[in-house]
Chains A and B, each alone.
Chain A
Amino acid sequence: MRFEYNIEAGNFSKAGDASSSFKKILKQLNVDPQIIKRIVVSLYEGEVNIVAHANGGKAICEVDTNLVRIHLVDVGPGIPDINKAMQAGYSTASARVREMGFGAGMGLQNIKNNADILNIQSEVGVGTELEIIVNLPKAG
């Protein structure tokens, strides 16, 4: 099953809408609560990244019985140095974003900690694409 969510640039009051909608779906599909938590936290962090840094984007969430795959695609500045961006605490967020409680530099790190696979592709001046995969163990 495939679900697509648009993510608006700069609108922090709506950051979390995609993860909240997708969370409801995962609960209805009887995915293990602890795994839902990992998926939703990853999606939320990715969502916030798009809201904070990009000029808009979308989350495409695919659910299969053995895994959940999330593509976060944005049009934006891109990440010049992905290795650096992965470091905990590294942040390019503006002072305005930090004042709102975002931009602590933990986003990508947090996704990596919660996902089974995280792939990042980015082109400066074009945009960033994240692929997040979380495996679903076979339920008893």
Chain B
Amino acid sequence: MDSKHFHHALIINDDHCIGCSHCMNVCPTEAIRLRNGKAILYENRCVDCGECFKACPVSAIIIDQDDYKRIQAFNYRIALVPAVFMGQFCDEISRDQIYSAILANGFTHVYEVEMSVDLLVNQVKTYAKSHPDKKPLISSFCPAIIRLVQVKFPALTENIMLLKPPLDITALYCRKQLTDQGVNPAEIGVFYITPCAAKIAAIKSPVGEDYSMITGVINMDTLYNKVFKHIRSDRSLKPAVVHNQLLSGTALQWSLTHGESNHIPGRSLAIDEIHNVIEFLEKIESGEISDIDFLELRACDESCAGGVLLTTNRFLVAERLGAYSAENKTKTDESTGIEAYTDYLLRRIKIQPISPRSMMKLDENMEEAMRKMDKSGRMLKCLPLADCGVCGSPNCQAFANDIALEDADIRQCIFIQKNREQTGELSPDESLEMLKSVWGNDKFFS
């Protein structure tokens, strides 16, 4: 049931980490602990949502992208650019200017990720209609959500819609289009310009797919800086004609909140921001909420406009794409070239069933899990329930579990330390050592 290899794009840089515990306190899956003054990650619990990245005050958490020079290893260098990339630039900078600047920065082709949306939207409708037993259907769009369901809501994995997200369909299309033109597949490098960490993780260790069509990943802020610099330094930049036609309004807004749900008939809800999603899925899982047909769930507030790698404020990005989409509405009939490949793509649009990967269990063996739960319960009774986090775990309940799992020592609790110092069970020196084992030596004078 457990995945052997589980790639994470979020990496904690020990040299920069100051052990402040901010990341531990915001992690929605309690995947971070503090040990010896550094944050450590429980990899099986992390869903790559990026909350820790946002909370880190010293940028010690990095999102592991490919080296930009890696694109040069290919003769055909494709930038797969999601619509939110364009939404970051002010109105004075045109789409053609942006794409010309991308080409000037080493790429040979630009494909817009959402060009496959118009093809996908009908498939989603058909899928929803033909799977009434899987209600509510959960969209496969956001990879952080798929991972969240796997680890925290394992019973709901069978509700995930088994259709490729636009990114994978478009990647398939651009490869096929080029190989049909006689290009050697080995010469094609498809690089996704990512707004978040979860998409990287999904590409490096795909869920529901055997392998990814995407060669590598470039963080959106990296390309934004290059493109912005290029446009500023060369105002006269001649806009190259990008061979793709304009995206439809539906496609432009697909990655925003309500982008999917607005097109799915029945009771179709859009929920963004990971804590909101968790709250809602708890109720779905208990049967408290029923009769929902479709759930568009996104880990980031304002969906991809709120991706951690975007430079511009998420509300402005969403507003700009909304405005562009109103302008583009009349142009939906124009061919994007992808229609010619509809049959080819539809034959490959399904993904494999997604298996649960529960992180909640205390032990694989139920009897052993019961023993650990019993111990955790006894520990919790001794703890202050202040959820202060000084012990190096995010809250008292998580700390009690950590003790039961032998990942922590009850003397890490500062309240226990004070009590035991009073009774003479713990010397002041021992007490300090316990604190240092969590917070490291640097924060103490002796």
Contacts and interface: CB of A to CB of B under 8 A. Distances in A.
B424 to A, nearest CB: 35
Nearest to A30: B361
A49 interface: no
A25 B360 CA distance: 9
A30 B358 contact: yes
A36 interface: yes
- Counting chain A CB atoms within 10 Å of each CB, the highest count among B356, B358, B367, B401 belongs to B358
A1 B356 CA distance: 25
B286 A16 contact: yes
A83 interface: no
A40 interface: yes
A85 B384 CA distance: 46
A15 B360 CA distance: 24
Interface string A33-62: 110110011001100000000000000000
Nearest to B158: A34
| A23, A30, A110 — most chain B CB neighbours (10 Å) | A30
A17 to B, nearest CB: 10
Contacts of A24: 360
Interface in A47-86: 63, 65
Given A33-B155, A40-B285, A40-B287, A139 B369 contact: no
B445 to A, nearest CB: 40
A119 to B, nearest CB: 21
B360 A28 contact: yes
Interface in A89-140: 110, 136, 139
Size class of the A contact interface (CB-based, 8 Å): 20 to 34
B367 to A, nearest CB: 6
Contacts of B366: 29-31, 65, 136, 139
Interface string B357-380: 010111111110110011000000
A37 B155 contact: yes
B334 interface: no
A29 B365 CA distance: 8
Nearest to A1: B370
B361 A16 contact: no
B288 interface: yes
A29 B356 contact: no
A29 B286 contact: no
Nearest 8 pairs between A and B by C-beta?
Answer: A33-B155, A30-B361, A27-B360, A41-B287, A33-B154, A37-B155, A29-B369, A16-B288
Interface of A: 1, 15-16, 19-20, 23-25, 27-31, 33-34, 36-37, 40-41, 44-45, 63, 65, 110, 136, 139
5 contacts: A19-B286, A25-B373, A30-B363, A30-B366, A33-B356
